[in-house]
Amino acid sequence: MEKSTLLFFRSRPQGLASNAALLSSMQSLESSFFLIALRRYPHALSTCASAFEMAIQAAPIGAGKDNRLQTLIAKARHNSAAIARIPQDRLDQFRDARNRIIHRGFGPKDASESTSLYLEIALPLLEASYRDFHSYDVTDALLQEYVELLKVAQEVHRRAKTLQGYDLSYSLNAFGHLIRWRFKENFSTGWEIHALDHADEIGLKFENIEREKERLGRLFGPSWSFDCPLCNQPQSVVAELDETELDTLEVTPKRMACTVCGFVVHELHLFLSEVLLQNQIVNARSQILKEYGLE
């Protein structure tokens, strides 16, 4: 078999070249990432479900005559302690949502539920399947910048899921934006790329970045500059600080925007800035408080 292209993995499981079903599973997982970047969260969920199906069919527990998702989940639960610990009612909800999406399509209201099921059920299910049936640690095998942002999404979702009336798909905003940023040359026209390169050469990009940072500082009020946790450009993020929290000597970011890669966190996207910037805030806390005359 010709060596296949995998875009998000830095290592492969042994014997992948002779295991077409496992390769298909990994490719489906990657496709679910691109669907997240396109904000097609229900399709990302159904595609991740397909990745699980192929992972089980490729496993030593084997594919039988009945390869329905319900049967494959039952096989996996019987042979994996980690999968057996996932509540049956959540697995049923995952299966029902996948079937509904495939057979009846989806609407805007399905984005939040699909995000929850993707982060809480589909990814852990697939991770356990790779580990227990293929001796393959997918969280170690994936490029780590994507793993870190999936962890960010899971933590933001964990904090926000008790809130009423929120579309939780924003939990995956940083992950999806990084994919769009990393693959932007695939989706940009030639003149756009040339214009960006030319701006770099004559120094316009730096001037534009500095002007944008000043504008955001005026817009936000209390604010601070951080390194971007997505594109890694130093001091390219301007984050608005919660003024009420500052009064109690707590540094809590609300809105934020990167002047290089264009990533934005809106005020209603609760906890996202906090989780993305938490390590930098720990290091900068004393300096921030001193700058605002609070220490």
Q: 63 and 94 in contact (C-beta within 8 Å)?
A: no
CA angle (213 as vertex; 215, 277 as ends), nearest 5: 125
pLDDT at 202: 42
Across 69-98, average pLDDT = 95
Is residue 52 scored above 60 in pLDDT? yes
What is the rounded distance in angstroms from the CA atom of residue 74 to the CA atom of residue 84?
A: 9
pLDDT at 65: 73
Is residue 129 scored above 80 in pLDDT? yes
Is residue 270 scored above 60 in pLDDT? yes
What is the rounded distance in angstroms from the CA atom of residue 2 to the CA atom of residue 154?
A: 35
Q: What is the mean pLDDT of the chain?
A: 89
Across 273-294, average pLDDT = 95
Q: 28 and 48 in contact (C-beta within 8 Å)?
A: yes
Express as a percent the part of the chain with pLDDT over 90. 76
Is residue 120 scored above 80 in pLDDT? yes
pLDDT at 294: 86
Q: Which amino acid is at 291?
A: E
Quickly list DSSP for 59-124: STT---S---HHHHHHHHHHH-HHHHTS-HHHHHHHHHHHHHHHHH---TTHHHHHHHHIIIIIHH
Is residue 1 scored above 80 in pLDDT? no
pLDDT at 193: 45
Instruction: Express each pLDDT in 232-269 by its tens digit.
Output: 999 999 999 999 999 999 999 999 999 999 999 998 99
C-alpha torsion sign, points 182, 184, 187, 193:
negative
Worst-scoring range by mean pLDDT, 143-152, 153-162, 197-206, 235-244?
197-206
pLDDT at 204: 44
Distances (CA, A) of 265 to 150, 234, 291: 16, 18, 24
The pair of three-digit structure tokens given for residue 158, joined into one six-digit string: 């964990």
User: Mean pLDDT highest for which of 54-63, 67-76, 171-180?
Assistant: 171-180
pLDDT at 138: 97
pLDDT at 187: 55
- Residue 222 carries which DSSP code? S
What lies within 8 Å, CB to CB, of 229 at 6+ separation is 174, 237, 276, 277, 280
pTM: 0.89
Does residue 240 sit in helix, strand or coil? strand
pLDDT at 118: 98
What is the rounded distance in angstroms from the CA atom of residue 233 to the CA atom of residue 229?
A: 8
- Residue positions counted in the chain: 295
What lies within 8 Å, CB to CB, of 255 at 6+ separation is 220, 239, 240, 264, 265, 266, 267, 273
Is residue 144 scored above 90 in pLDDT? yes
pLDDT at 73: 94
The pair of three-digit structure tokens given for residue 135, joined into one six-digit string: 């001796």
Instruction: Express each pLDDT in 179-237 by its tens digit.
Output: 999 998 655 455 444 544 544 544 445 456 667 667 766 678 899 999 999 999 999 99
Is residue 78 scored above 50 in pLDDT? yes
Across 274-292, average pLDDT = 96
Across 162-178, average pLDDT = 95
What is the rounded distance in angstroms from the CA atom of residue 227 to the CA atom of residue 270?
A: 20
Q: 35 and 43 in contact (C-beta within 8 Å)?
A: yes
Across 29-56, average pLDDT = 97
Domain ranges of the chain: 16-182, 190-291
pLDDT interval class at 146 (50, 70, 90)? very high
pLDDT at 295: 75
